[in-house]
Structure 1
Amino acid sequence: MNEFQQNGFLLVPGLINTSEYDRFFEKIVSLGRGDSEETQVPGSTGFYKEVLFEKLLEHLLPKIEQYTGLALYKTYSYARRYRIGNELKPHRDREACEITATLALGYENDIWPIWVENREKVSCSFLLSPGDALIFRGRELVHWREKNRFGACSQVFLHYVERNGLYADYRDDRYESPFE
């Protein structure tokens, strides 16, 4: 049993070089694209299935399978620009997010921690430098971010489901919004 299977989460430092993705993210934000009426984190801007992040989702699939020890299908990517005062309330993800890799792209100032409640109900915080990923069981483990006092933060979420699991039918996520 690997560390991910034992704990339900795994920190992966330096999963990618973020320069290309961060530049792309800055560009689409500056162009005013994205959902500024984002319901999960009011005041943030979200990007559901943005082309470059969908390619990253597919490109990293073999690595995510290797880290988790699971055969997976990709479901969808979601990128978010958090701002000062934003908060991600404690929650579990929907079915299409059985396995989530949250990947830090960049920070305006300091690193803003992400929190996960482990299987023993202990809250653990993680500081993700740009390029670092936290892979976790999004349906199983409660996760959140406390009120942002650190500055703007760019994050991309890559979601997967187990090929032989309960949620395999959610592969390639056919919704128009990630919160349906």
Structure 2
Amino acid sequence: MVVETEAYRANGYVCLPGLFPVPVMHAFYRRMQADLQASGDSLATFAARGPLLRHEAIEIYAYQYPPLLGFLWGLTPRIAAAAGVDLLPTYAYFRLYQHGDVCRVHSDRLACEHSLSLTLAYADDLPWEFSVATEQTDALDPAIAEDFGALSFGSVAMRAGDGVLYQGIRHRHGRLRANPNAWSAHLFLHWVDRDGPYKEQAFDQPTVAHNSRGGAAWLRAI
């Protein structure tokens, strides 16, 4: 853990290879698909496209699919140990990328002080790189770019079950190379320092309150 923490503090990110066994990742993805089908919603119901992506993607948030909170809350002690600080969870979501997509270089909102990219599955089992700037930038930098410009950065070729922990607010990040797989499935999980400047973002209460009015039919029935 000490080596992880030192790398994380020095570079703004650290790779956590084999964070979960591949069968667990694949089983969770299959269960998510089955749960959505049983609720009457397909993955296509959650199609979205934003400025970070070239193509439409599937995005499902924890307020729409609560089992995502199991990963977020359950991983909190492990991620806190790697980060070297006491953490509280904020939010989590699932994204399914298409072939040829990228994630443009960007910084995250304040709820993403400490973030984890976790790969669930690849259609063709081809690793796809996640890149993080090793230099800090100002918080809330709204710029979105195709590359890192003059910033130094590192890349991790992620396989299913691998995680990359990164400082999402101050270290810009993205996926520069087009997705080589027909599709790829990922989780993104976020935390804040329990005693830090963004502690009011814990549990993402404003977003939860706003979005709980919608979501899948099975969620509204709870």
TM-score (norm 2): 0.73
Is it true that 1:133 corresponds to 2:140 in the alignment? no
Aligned equivalents of 1:61 and 1:90: distance in 2?
26
Structure 2: state its 5+ residue gaps. 137-150, 212-222
Within a 5 Å distance, the mapping from 1:10-159 to structure 2 comes to 10-17=14-21, 18-27=25-34, 31-33=41-43, 35-39=46-50, 40-41=52-53, 42-49=55-62, 50-109=65-124, 110-119=126-135, 121-146=151-176, 147-159=178-190
Q: Quick check: which one's helix share is greater?
A: 2
What is the CA-CA distance between 1:73 and the residue it aligns to? Answer: 0.6
What is the CA-CA distance between 1:28 and the residue it aligns to? Answer: 5.4
SS state at 2:195 partner = coil
Aligned equivalents of 2:75 and 2:12: distance in 1?
19
Q: Is the CA contact 2:33–2:42 (under 8 Å) kept in the aligned structure 1?
A: no
- Label 1:143 to 1:57 Cα distance change in 2 as closer, same or farther (>3 A): same
Aligned equivalents of 1:48 and 1:13: distance in 2?
24
Q: Is the CA contact 2:94–2:188 (under 8 Å) kept in the aligned structure 1?
A: yes
What is the CA-CA distance between 1:29 and the residue it aligns to? Answer: 6.8
Structure 1: state its 5+ residue gaps. none
Aligned equivalents of 1:64 and 1:123: distance in 2?
22
Aligned equivalents of 2:159 and 2:36: distance in 1?
21
Aligned equivalents of 2:122 and 2:33: distance in 1?
11
Aligned equivalents of 1:77 and 1:89: distance in 2?
19
What is the CA-CA distance between 1:127 and the residue it aligns to? Answer: 1.1
Q: Indicate the RMSD between aligned Cα atoms, in angstroms.
A: 2.0
What is the CA-CA distance between 1:102 and the residue it aligns to? Answer: 0.5
Aligned equivalents of 1:24 and 1:3: distance in 2?
34
What percentage of residue pairs aligned between the two structures are identical?
Answer: 25
Q: Which residue of 2 aligns with 1:166?
A: 197
Is it true that 1:2 corresponds to 2:6 in the alignment? yes
Aligned equivalents of 2:119 and 2:32: distance in 1?
12
What one-letter code is carried by the residue in structure 2 that aligns with 1:37? A
Aligned equivalents of 1:10 and 1:94: distance in 2?
20
TM-score (norm 1): 0.89
Q: How many residues align?
A: 177
Q: Which piece of structure 1 moves more, 97-106 or 42-51?
A: 42-51
Decide which structure has the larger Cα Rg and report it.
2
- Label 1:123 to 1:28 Cα distance change in 2 as closer, same or farther (>3 A): farther
Q: Is the CA contact 2:12–2:133 (under 8 Å) kept in the aligned structure 1?
A: no
